[in-house]
Amino acid sequence: MTNIRIDKILGSRRLSNYFWASIILLGGIGFLLVGLSSYLKKQIIPLTYSIDISFLPQGIIMTFYGTIGVLISLFLWYTIILDIGSGYNEFNNEAGIVTIFRLGFPGKNRILNLKYSIKDIYSIKINIIEGLSPKKEIYLSMKDKREIPLTKVGQPISINNIEKQASILAKFLGVILEGI
């Protein structure tokens, strides 16, 4: 039996992020071109009648929405390229250390590398909140009352799966399992 467990954390390189970044980019470019067509009085997009739209107020609003859409899409592509939020959780029983590693935005805090002693861990805590925006999270609960999240952000996980993951982790670390 191995004394080291590594859980990979998927960052922003998810299929849904690729989908939304592409859709927002296409929509933003479409709105921007319709706004520019109404300003220039030239047919930029074939099979549309955007030159019939008056620039004030419809064309300028379309241009504004298009610009905002393109900028939001560029931000999403930026986070995908940098793989923001990716990393791993390493639980090393041999060294007695838990390492939490994540990538962030560029700057002096680009890399988050936290290390905790297994002796300082009180429990593995499960937090399940149902409702409009349900949350199913696993936390590393420390003896000094800190709680460090271990689960992937934005990944839907079934209750059975999260309970199974938490119980395996609690058994691996030799700590108790708490639930809310």
Give residue 176's pLDDT.
96
| Cβ contact 124:173 at 8 Å | yes
Give residue 154's pLDDT.
64
> What average pLDDT values come out for the chain (180 residues) when binned by 10 residues?
88 94 98 94 85 90 98 98 96 96 95 96 92 87 95 76 93 91
Strands of the sheet with 97-103, listed across from one edge: 4-9, 87-92, 97-103, 111-117
Query: Does the global pTM surpass 0.85?
Result: no
Give residue 60's pLDDT.
96
Give residue 85's pLDDT.
93
Q: Which two tokens stand for residue 48?
A: 């549309």
Give residue 158's pLDDT.
84
The domains of the chain are located at: 15-82, 85-179
Q: Which two tokens stand for residue 170?
A: 């609690």
| Cβ contact 104:172 at 8 Å | no
Contacts of 15 (CB under 8 A, 6+ apart): none
Q: Give me the amino acid identity at 61.
A: I
Give residue 147's pLDDT.
95
- For 85-179, CATH gives 2.30.29
Give residue 153's pLDDT.
66
Q: How far is CA 58 from the centre of its chain?
A: 35
Q: Which residues pair with 6 in a beta bridge?
A: 90
**Extended strands (E) in the chain:** 4-9, 87-92, 97-103, 111-117, 121-129, 135-142, 147-149, 176-179
Q: Give me the amino acid identity at 147.
A: E
Give residue 155's pLDDT.
64
